[in-house]
Amino acid sequence: MTQTPDKARPTPRAGIMDIEAYVPGKSTAPAGVAKVHKLSSNENPLGPSPKAIEAAREVAAKLDIYPDGTARRLREAIAEVHGLNPQNIICSNGSDEILGLLAQTYLAPGDEAIFTEHAFMVYKIYIQSAGALPIAVKESEERADVDAILAAVTPRTKIVFLANPNNPTGTYLPFQEVRRLHAALPKTVLLVLDAAYAEYVRRNDYEAGIELAGSSDNVVMTRTFSKIGLGGARIGWMYGPMHIVEAINRVRGPFNVNAMAIEAGIAAIRDRAHVERSIAHNEIWLSWLSEQMTGLGLRVTPSVGNFLLIHFPDDQRHSAAAADDYLTARGYILRRVSGYGFPNALRMSVGTEEANRGVVAALTTFLKS
């Protein structure tokens, strides 16, 4: 039988075209803007470690050679800094890749996976791409709610994704709450602790998840190099029990971390001075920005990351959309977060002193208009 023209082509499997594609933060301003300050993607305003730049340059002349498929030296550098067994670490093309591999490995059609309502959008994408059902649970005061998560668990639940701290809110769960969540989960449910912003948290009751992942059969912790200056290199990693590491190693790409990323990552994680400078800069300016925004009459969700969520008035003249247009026209690129359930808020990365002061000055004028 002859196919009709509109059917004579490959088609994605059922459900793929129902996935809402991820939209990254914008990075450009209108033509004619003299200087652009990109504050939409939570990048490090101090840039990459100079040692990472030099390491990448050195390997540039050897790009004809495949990288080590196990990223052994990078895993050893991570293990050295964090006091871990390198055998329990997998490196990846950004932590996003690890999240996708976990969904691919542990979810099947008909399964369910849980995340919180304002969590990182890729969780839902990866759950749906595995053919499973995404379950978004309500947060409490823009923070993950352990009881709401546990109430959503069913016999079909296979994964719980917990961003701690969360993006775009910047809120976190104290680790006693994370332990309470883990203790109440069925042992067959995988708890994924996404600690992408762990370096920036300065709270005594916070832990990234190393201890829990190292002592449990159903917990992994994912991390990234992106927030300390290597967003463009795309380096992520996972720490967890060997049975999960062995499963993920069966489905990941054989050379999923490129040679320049490996060398830059080794240098970056060992350059503790650059990491500490980045943390110190963030601590100063996150607090300053929060105080300034609050002083302008804007509500700010308390953040422990390297960004803050700014809520705007309900009137149309001073809405988040209007503020975004006003700032963009002046070269300040923030992040619209309507897709995260905040139609009247903007997420702002902590930037350089110039960028931070410039945004506050621009918003001061905007709100008086």
Domains and CATH numbers, the chain: 16-47+273-368 (3.90.1150.10), 50-271 (3.40.640.10)
Whole-number percent of the chain with pLDDT over 70: 98
Residue 83, number of CB atoms within 10 A of its CB: 8
pLDDT at 7 over 60: yes
pLDDT band at 219 (very low <50, low <70, confident <90, very high): very high
The 10s digit of each residue's pLDDT in 113-132 is: 999 999 999 999 999 999 99
Contacts with 282 (C-beta within 8 Å, 6 or more apart), sequence order:
200, 306, 350
- Among 216, 242, 191, 196, which Cα is nearest to 86's? 242
Query: What's the pLDDT score for residue 26?
Result: 76
> Measured between alpha carbons, how far is 120 from 112 in angstroms, rounded to an integer?
17
Q: How far is CA 172 from CA 37, 68, 105, 119, 178, in A?
A: 27, 36, 27, 11, 10
pLDDT at 20 over 90: no
Query: What's the pLDDT score for residue 170?
Result: 98
Query: What's the pLDDT score for residue 13?
Result: 87
pLDDT at 3 over 80: no
Query: What's the pLDDT score for residue 22?
Result: 82
pLDDT at 2 over 80: no
Mean pLDDT, residues 6-27 taken together: 83
pLDDT at 5 over 60: no
pLDDT at 228 over 70: yes
User: What DSSP assignment string belongs to 187-209?
Assistant: TTSEEEEE-TTGGG---TT---S
pLDDT at 225 over 80: yes
Query: What's the pLDDT score for residue 337?
Result: 97
Angle, CA of 69, 71 and 75, to the nearest 5°:
150
Across the chain, what does the average pLDDT equal?
95
pLDDT band at 364 (very low <50, low <70, confident <90, very high): very high
pLDDT band at 86 (very low <50, low <70, confident <90, very high): very high
Query: What's the pLDDT score for residue 369?
Result: 83
The sheet carrying 236-239 orders its strands as: 89-92, 236-239, 219-224, 190-194, 157-163, 112-116, 133-137
Contacts with 14 (C-beta within 8 Å, 6 or more apart), sequence order:
none
Cβ 130 vs Cβ 108: under 8 Å: yes
Strand-pair partners of 236: 92, 224
pLDDT at 21 over 90: no
- Among 110, 136, 105, which Cα is nearest to 123's? 136
Q: How far is CA 215 from CA 73, 179, 184, 195, in A?
A: 24, 12, 16, 17
Query: What's the pLDDT score for residue 29?
Result: 77
- Which H or E run includes 344? strand 342-349
Cβ 366 vs Cβ 312: under 8 Å: no
Q: Which residue has the tokens 């995340």?
A: 115
pLDDT at 85 over 80: yes
Helices 320-328 and 353-368 meet at what angle, rounded to 10? Answer: 130
DSSP 19: S
Mean pLDDT, residues 208-218 taken together: 98
Query: What's the pLDDT score for residue 218?
Result: 98
Query: What's the pLDDT score for residue 97?
Result: 97
Determine the straight-line distance between the first and last CA of the chain, rounded to whole angstroms.
67
The 10s digit of each residue's pLDDT in 164-211 is: 999 999 999 999 999 999 999 999 999 999 999 999 999 999 999 999
Query: What's the pLDDT score for residue 4?
Result: 56
Strand-pair partners of 347: 309, 335
pLDDT at 34 over 70: yes
> Measured between alpha carbons, how far is 300 from 43 in angstroms, rounded to an integer?
20
Length of the chain: 369
Structure tokens at 20: 């809402």
Q: Which amino acid is at 183?
A: A
pLDDT at 25 over 80: no
The 10s digit of each residue's pLDDT in 247-265 is: 999 999 999 999 999 999 9
pLDDT band at 103 (very low <50, low <70, confident <90, very high): very high
Q: Which residue has the tokens 């871990």?
A: 84
> Measured between alpha carbons, how far is 364 from 118 in angstroms, rounded to an integer?
28
